[in-house]
Amino acid sequence: MIGVPLDKLREACGVVAVYSESAAAPLAHRALFELQHRGQEAAGIASSGADGALHVEKGEGLITEGLPFRRVEDMPGTRAVGHCRYSTVGREKNVQPFVANTPYGQLALAHNGNIKNAAELRTDLQAQGSLVATSLDTELLVHLIARSQAPDFPGALRYMADLAIGAYSLTMLCNGTLYALRDPNGLRPLVLGEMKGGWVIASETCALDVLHADYVREIEPGELVTIGPDGVTASQLLPRAEPSPCIFELVYFSRPNSTAFGQSVNGARIRMGMELADADAASGAPPADIVIPVPDSGVPAAIGYSRRSGVLYEKAILRSHYVGRTFILPDQDSRMAQVELKLSVIKEAVRGKRVILVDDSIVRGNTSRQIVQMVRDAGAAAVMMRIASPPLAWPCYLGIDMPDRDELVINRAGSVERVADLIGVDDLRYLSVAG
């Protein structure tokens, strides 16, 4: 996929909501472009006016492919919600926002996260007579809302949250009013911004920037934000639990020009690189001549490592932006061929040098091994690797597309030293948990 390395974690979704004086769907479309890194397999937008009648456009693929601007430019309504996602099942009915008729009006709901007890909820809802038409856990949330018998929509959301266990950052459009709700642990980010004549809610602040919206604040865990003709109101709909923001938002998922959980993403990644350099200095790590980022996720940490250590920063691995996202990967040879199409090494920069490669994480290790070999083939005298996060030993299913535990390289190898052997580096060090 364009911009997504073969052996990386994948954020499952991005959400947006827009309330404006003019047509909201084109604005939501622009915001989704800024969230494309969070989901490249499908996108959708639902819009309405004050009457609450929904207009919906969805498509599979990148936004340019499945949801081009010509499909949204004439969508009516000054309110809109949008969604982009990974891991669709290949059917357009599985593309969000999920739209349904409810006792509270027509509802469009976009969800970033994952419901841990989805299987149990599905069984219970079907036993009660609900017709569950998709594989989405998002549909289950809508069924819970519709069956709640609460006197109002916020009450229905409270009922839903009492039964659904997991991570959710939701943007919703119901009966002409926008809503946003974050789970009590605040696992996935959600931010509020104000623009001229309106408001924006999004998974990341980069989506606010493209609409020239000013960042107002992060939506709090368990908080319900409502946007209507009278402006913005907020209430603590759900009791706050222990905050559990996903650290991989800072490590990998969020765009460098975003702010996540009150921190500059780029700044946090640079500091991670500095911590790696400090740890190397304290432990007497082998010397290096150049530090090279694995593009593009390793760039900020490599900059931080270079700044702190004084080792020369070289952007000696280049990434092609033109490898097609539909490239078929039937076997290991094909996967290796795609890495070689995506990445190339500047031989003159690495020949005879002791190289430190910096990346944000190692998942399965296959791509790391191939990159290391490419650097060796280019003439490097030694290849070391620094990872700007601790070893990834346990999968997370709360909104991340992640391999099973036995696929993670640290578990297959059993130790960091053995991982180093598997990927072919002379020295491998991870950021400590404290770092």
Q: How many helices (H) and strands (E) does the chain have?
A: 14, 24
Cα–Cα distance, 360 to 102 (Å, whole number): 43
Q: Determine phi and psi for 137, rounding to 5 degrees.
A: -65, -25
Cα–Cα distance, 292 to 305 (Å, whole number): 10
Is residue 135 within 8 Å of residue 88, measured between CB atoms? no
Is residue 146 within 8 Å of residue 100, measured between CB atoms? yes
Q: Which of 13, 84, 174, 206 is catalytic?
A: 13
**Is 13 marked active-site?**
yes
Is residue 79 within 8 Å of residue 19, measured between CB atoms? yes
If one counts every other C-beta atom within 10 angstroms of the C-beta of residue 74, the result is 10
Is residue 6 within 8 Å of residue 108, measured between CB atoms? no
Query: Which is nearest to 364 in space by CA: 333, 301, 409, 329?
Result: 409
| Residue linked to tokens 């390793």 | 298
DSSP collapsed to 3 states, 210-223: CCCCEEEEECCCCE
Q: Determine phi and psi for 422, rounding to 5 degrees.
A: -65, -40
Which three-class secondary structure state does DSSP give residue 266? helix
Which three-class secondary structure state does DSSP give residue 146? helix
Q: Which residues does residue 47 pair with via DSSP β-bridges, in sequence order?
A: 55, 80
DSSP label at residue 69: G
Cβ partners under 8 Å of residue 328, min gap 6: 334
DSSP label at residue 176: T
Please count the residues of the chain.
435
State the amino acid at position 388 in one-letter form.
Answer: A
Query: Which is nearest to 192 in space by CA: 183, 204, 184?
Result: 204
Measure the CA dihedral 107/110/115/120, to 10°. Answer: 30
Query: Which is nearest to 163 in space by CA: 212, 128, 131?
Result: 128
Is residue 247 within 8 Å of residue 234, measured between CB atoms? no
Bridging pattern class, strands 312-313 and 290-293: parallel
Pull the structure tokens for residue 19.
């309330």
The residues annotated with a catalytic role in the active site are: 13
